[in-house]
């Protein structure tokens, strides 16, 4: 699942491409009359919701884009915000697309020069936003924003911009790691809300802290030297500082490298991120630990239903 660095990379791309453009049309093949899950009724997976969604966004201009945890917020001139959660395999792609009526599919136009959009991982397009052309650009062709999602778990919905952060989609999310008010003290207080939880599990809970998932929790705990099964209540004061510093370091590195494309993630130009080439723990099972002076071997273990990768030598598990 795309985490904070991947979502931030996407938002950074949206800021450079779609801000100032007007939405002229929206298409999806996800909308059905009776969605199988109740939580789909307020997303475009409901045909009734999609009809309203389309009426409200077509004609509106994109004024900004931002991130909240793993959510993408596209703010419109109409006072509405398109909220997108990429879930397991989703990513957004910007370019010149064309629709095949016979196959009911969208794919990059023959005129699209960016070959990265033709990556096999970019072919599962299920939502397309059409835009007016950008008068400030030398390229006068109208472009599209395509939502590619192999497993169709992604969420696209619409909320009021003024109350977006008070909706059920965002209201329970914890503090942002890069917020100026996020400190070691805040992190400690948040984690101690779940004293009996394993540290990795607590870090991945979006109500505790925003944006951290499986990849970056493994990497930051490796850097901090903390065992993923270490109970939160047993962490010492210095451990919280190590986790805090490691989280900021690893997340910043993730953004600098354009996200992690070990799996499906691609940026809005269809390109792979590079963070996967810097892994020290995630999916490095059986590899010698890369920490200087450490002779440990990276181990994989399922913890609370999620895979954890760590070095049992320098990430020792200490009991009370």
Q: Which positions are annotated as active-site residues?
A: 2-3, 70, 306
Instruction: Give CA–CA dist 81/78, Å, rounded.
Output: 9
Looking at the DSSP bridge assignments, the partners of residue 97 are 108
Maximum alpha-carbon separation in the chain: 65
Looking at the DSSP bridge assignments, the partners of residue 158 are 82
Instruction: Give CA–CA dist 283/294, Å, rounded.
Output: 18
CA 307 to chain centre: 18
Give residue 144's region: left, alpha or beta (phi > 0; psi -120 to 50).
Answer: beta
- Mutual angle of helices 237-256 and 214-224, in 10-degree steps: 130
């Amino acid at each position: 699942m795309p985490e904070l660095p991947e979502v931030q990379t996407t938002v950074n791309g949206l800021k450079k491409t779609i801000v100032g453009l007007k939405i002229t049309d929206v298409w999806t093949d996800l909308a059905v009359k009776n969605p199988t899950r109740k939580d789909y009724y307020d997303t475009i997976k409901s045909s009734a919701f999609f009809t309203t969604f389309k009426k409200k966004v077509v004609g509106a201009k994109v004024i900004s884009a931002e991130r909240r945890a793993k959510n993408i917020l596209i703010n419109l001139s109409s006072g509405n915000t398109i909220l997108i959660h990429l879930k397991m395999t989703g990513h957004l792609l910007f370019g010149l697309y064309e629709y095949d009526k016979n196959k009911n599919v969208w794919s990059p136009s023959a005129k699209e020069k960016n070959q990265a959009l033709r990556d096999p991982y970019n072919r599962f397009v299920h939502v397309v936003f059409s835009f007016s052309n950008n008068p400030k650009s030398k390229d006068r062709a109208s472009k599209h924003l395509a939502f590619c999602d192999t497993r169709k778990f992604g969420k696209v919905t619409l909320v009021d911009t003024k109350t977006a952060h008070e909706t059920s989609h965002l209201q329970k999310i914890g503090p942002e790691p890069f917020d100026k008010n996020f400190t070691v003290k805040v992190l400690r207080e948040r984690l101690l809300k779940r004293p009996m939880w394993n540290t990795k599990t607590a870090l991945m809970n979006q109500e505790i802290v925003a944006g951290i998932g499986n990849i970056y929790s493994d990497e930051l705990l490796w850097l901090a030297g903390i065992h993923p099964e270490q109970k939160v209540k047993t962490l010492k004061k210095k451990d919280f500082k190590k986790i805090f510093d490691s989280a900021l370091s690893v997340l910043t590195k993730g953004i600098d490298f354009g996200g992690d494309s070990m799996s499906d993630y691609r940026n809005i130009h269809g390109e792979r991120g590079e963070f996967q080439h810097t892994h020290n723990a995630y999916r490095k099972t059986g590899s010698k630990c890369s920490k200087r002076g450490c002779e440990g071997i990276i181990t994989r273990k399922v913890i609370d239903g999620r895979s954890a990768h760590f070095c049992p030598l320098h990430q020792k598990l200490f009991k009370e």
